[in-house]
Amino acid sequence: MALHTSLDSTAKMERTAAPGAGRRVQYLPALQTLSSATTGSTHWVEGSFRSSKWDYSSIQPVPPRMPPNHVRAHQWARKHQEETTKFKETLHHRGHRGDTLNVDSLLLDRPHAINMPVEFDEGSVLHIASMRGHSDVANLLIHRGADLNCVNHGGQTSLHTACESGRGAVAMGLLTAGADADVRDATGQTALHRAAFTGSMDALIALLDYGANAKLRDHGDLLAIHKAASMGRTEAVAVLLERFPNTVNATAANNWTPLHFAASAGHHLTCQTLLALQAEVNAADGERMQPLHRAASARWGGEATCQILVQHKANLQATDIMRCTPLHLACESACEFGNLGAVRVLLDAGASVHALEGMRRTPLHIAAEAGNAELSELLVHYGANPSARDVSKGVPSPLAVARRQGHADVAALFDASTS
């Protein structure tokens, strides 16, 4: 009996020792309540969240769900970009107007933004102040540690913009603060090139006084003297040659001298200054053209320029690589632009009306082919022969050319002169 009792208790113990036996616990997940705005709206809200109608847990506040990290990053970046853009526009506007007080106030909040690009060409506020000539704003920026050699998209520093805008006082302030006068931009030009090009005398003298190198060439192989001569900056040419007299005949690409540049653009006063400072009047370029050739083919100012060159003993019979004399080129320019002034100057100086160019044409051939009656009459008056021809070379006379081209008025003029 005792044995039976022990076996029976053992079996009972095995049954009660089963996992979970005697411990019936109701399973309730850890639920969270929603806000009052969504309570009871549906059984399942936001995935695992349930309404309070089916919630047996205590009511506890639920923190708001944050958006994913990439959404938050995008929102922050967009807000930061909007704030930066607004700041750039404000700083650009205040710097453009020369509002020193507000520029200082903006930079007090963001001192690291002093070199921030605010212009369309990635120029800083110092570029704007230098271009507009706001000396007070420029001095403030220099005092606050602006980078004097900071460049824009074109590689120009604030000194470049001050010189090409004719802001001599700002250029002086930048140089005094330690700006590098020989920084090159994307085209290889220094601030001295820009000052010579625009004729900014105050900036030019300041650059030379602070030791700017006048022998640096840009990517077009041009010196500052070439820039000044091409734009007719007579005072700048005089100052540069006073400091560097050995550059008066310096050659650029294609062997152009400063006199070639000035004559080509018709700047007669600049030519006169160059010639007074010992410029070579008969220097030939890569096409064997002399300054008189360039002046004869100039669209504007050719008459006065040719007159000055002739007075300084320019060679009237010099020929270029196509064997054209200055009179040939003057006739071509007269037919194209209608200005006979250079032709008259050359004819009065003794230019030959019978000279032949590489195609065996005389100046009268050029006038007859273009149908320019006024030029034809002028050449005939100076002794040109309308019947001159070269049978051996197959070159017709100017009269035959006028008839072939259908220029009846010119043909009638030639007939009247030969009768």
Query: pLDDT (tens digit, 9 = 90+) per residue, 206-230?
Result: 999 999 999 999 999 999 999 999 9
Joined together, the tokens standing for residue 107 give 């930079």
Domain ranges, ordered by start, for the chain: 82-219
DSSP symbols for 233-257: -HHHHHHHHHH-GGGTT---GGG--
| Dihedral Cα 397, 403, 405, 408, nearest 10 deg | 130
Is the pTM higher than 0.75? The answer reads yes
Please state, in angstroms and rounded to a whole number, the distance separating the CA atoms of residues 174 and 187.
Answer: 22
Span of 72-76, 201-205, 362-366 with lowest mean pLDDT: 72-76
Query: pLDDT (tens digit, 9 = 90+) per residue, 331-353?
Result: 999 999 988 999 999 999 999 99
Whole-number pLDDT of residue 66: 65
Average per-residue pLDDT for the chain: 87
**Residues forming beta bridges with residue 45, ordered by sequence position:** 49
**What are the angstrom distances between the C-alpha of 177 and each of 200, 213, 238?**
20, 18, 28
Instruction: Kindly indicate the confidence band of residue 32, based on its pLDDT and cuts at 50, 70 and 90.
Output: very low
pLDDT at 167 over 50: yes
Orientation of helix 135-143 relative to helix 100-109, angle to 10°: 20
Domain 82-219 has CATH 1.10.10.10: no
Nearest to 241 by CA among 221, 270, 211: 270
Please state, in angstroms and rounded to a whole number, the distance separating the CA atoms of residues 51 and 273.
Answer: 96
Whole-number pLDDT of residue 363: 95
Name the burial class of residue 287, with classes exposed (0-12), middle (13-18) and buried (19+) by CB atoms within 10 angstroms of its CB: middle
* Angle at the Cα of 142 from the Cα atoms of 140 and 143, rounded to 5 degrees: 65
Please state, in angstroms and rounded to a whole number, the distance separating the CA atoms of residues 293 and 297.
Answer: 6
Query: pLDDT (tens digit, 9 = 90+) per residue, 105-140?
Result: 999 989 999 999 998 889 999 999 999 999 999 999
The amino acid at 388: A
The amino acid at 393: K
Whole-number pLDDT of residue 380: 94
